[in-house]
Chain A
């Protein structure tokens, strides 16, 4: 593994057991400074355990874990000065106001009273919480609490931030907002580890993705790498006229050498070896005078990749089903 430059993190051969269960069994992953690493896996895969070890909350049973080049076991106090954790369950204090939550964290990070106040105001306005600043966090909506939680993580200007399933329970609009904030963090040079069950999220945010299942890494690479790895391209064809579907299916079957999947309404999907087949299908349907409603040559979706890697459909796919 290449040595990690300043402010990234690296995990090598991490093992963590709870009693007789091995939650994490030899996981290695890393991210250089300013990059977003997506850690993808189904529930119980060990994602949260990896995050908790990196955040100095759990002691590893074996393996090397370094944040910004500092060993988390040897010098956890120094690591804590550089990191922030935003948990799966929002960890803001419900009985305090948004402002009081942020000021308290600032004071615990040894900011002076004045600086802690100023930093809180800055973050409240950056996260659109200024109008709710003095209300108890208990009265906040789910999206507001998530934003406050992220703001609380940023009080100390961390160099590395761990986000454990940050978008769980957010509606799509709020989730896009959160994604934008995470992108801005990376632009500012913060290294981000993001765990998620949602491939869409990893695809949208992560420079690199590590897929974990049953405590082991089963794949890693850029989202595009993973898609390529999991299988070839697919041609999707929807004729303009539903009546042409049968003729189109014959052409596709002949060129691709296998029957297309017709499970979607008025749509044919078939895996192909490469773009030669795609061009041939295009030429053939044109020659037969079939109008095209939709025609695509695409990599498999990350959902398909995930399914082929883990044998479990993703949360997205399960929700859709």
Chain B
């Protein structure tokens, strides 16, 4: 703010990156010591997978093996979405509440470093959650049809969208007073976002009102895009829509969250 030496802002940028890295490590260490949230992010989609598979597999798709090929890509997208919905939002909220953030803010580090660090650690948590889901899916009989690159592409798309969606939750986590409020918000949005989609069946088989919602639900596009990639079927434009939605969510909520977090009263 006062006279800055040449290069100071760049040095400061690097410092913030380095500090974010240290805080990302802290966040991962916490996950290792308390893996509950990550496990939750795996168990919920895994349960839905098993439930849907054996409830609807036979009657809807004729066979569970065939239905799994339809179902699994959606479960993958759900896993990435869920992992992002809770981890950073509740961690940041907790830090703000119990005074840890005050300590960080009285240290000579960038104000947003704790936020960036936690979000960076999220990326690794997504990978863990998605990998475990892949393992479970494979054990149940899911086979990637589109090849390795397509599998990586689907994973990347799911994680990208989960990451961008997570900024909306992070924004809420910075704003609201209690961690319970963060959790209940993620529960409220779970139903329409994750289940009101093409998860269990193509949207054209849904009743009109639900179809209207599912067709505009961005999560449907993510699931469709993953499905096309993993099953080696042609993409219907869902991949592009997923990228577009990701950009919009990120572009709106990331600046909002960073600003709300960095604001000094």
Q: Do A and B come from one complex?
A: yes
Chain A residues in contact with chain B, CB under 8 A? 18, 52, 55-59, 74-75, 77, 80-81, 83-85, 87-96, 100, 104-105, 107-110, 136, 152, 156
Complex contact B107–A105 (CB within 8 A): yes
Contact among A83, A85, A94, A108 for B102, CB-based, below 8 A:
A85
Complex contact B107–A95 (CB within 8 A): no
Within 8 A of A (CB), among B1-41: 1-2, 15, 19, 22-23, 25-26, 29-30, 33-34
A165 vs chain B, min Cβ distance (A): 12
B24 vs chain A, min Cβ distance (A): 11
A57 vs chain B, min Cβ distance (A): 6
Complex contact B106–A95 (CB within 8 A): no
Complex contact A58–B100 (CB within 8 A): no
Q: Other than the known A57-B265, A80-B106, A87-B99, what 16 A-B pairs have Cβ atoms closer than 8 Å? A: A55-B106, A57-B264, A74-B1, A75-B2, A77-B108, A81-B108, A85-B106, A87-B103, A89-B98, A91-B100, A96-B29, A104-B22, A104-B23, A105-B103, A108-B19, A156-B107
Known contacts A77-B108, A80-B108; is-contact A91 B102 (Cβ 8 Å): yes
Chain B residues in contact with chain A, CB under 8 A? 1-2, 15, 19, 22-23, 25-26, 29-30, 33-34, 98-100, 102-109, 113, 264-265
Complex contact A152–B103 (CB within 8 A): yes
In the bound complex, CA of A110 to CA of B104 (Å): 14
Contact among A90, A110, A136 for B99, CB-based, below 8 A:
A90
> Which among B19, B108, B265 has the greatest number of chain A C-beta atoms within 10 A?
B108
The majority secondary structure among interface residues of chain B is: helix
In the bound complex, CA of A80 to CA of B113 (Å): 15
Known contacts A74-B2, A89-B98, A108-B19; is-contact A95 B105 (Cβ 8 Å): no
The 4 closest A-B pairs by CB, nearest first: A91-B99, A80-B108, A85-B106, A91-B103
Chain B residues near A92 (CB, 8 Å)? 100
In the bound complex, CA of A152 to CA of B26 (Å): 15
Chain A residues near B106 (CB, 8 Å)? 55-57, 80, 83-85
In the bound complex, CA of A38 to CA of B22 (Å): 35
Complex contact A91–B98 (CB within 8 A): yes
Complex contact B1–A75 (CB within 8 A): yes
Complex contact A89–B99 (CB within 8 A): yes
Known contacts A58-B264, A85-B102, A91-B100; is-contact A96 B107 (Cβ 8 Å): no
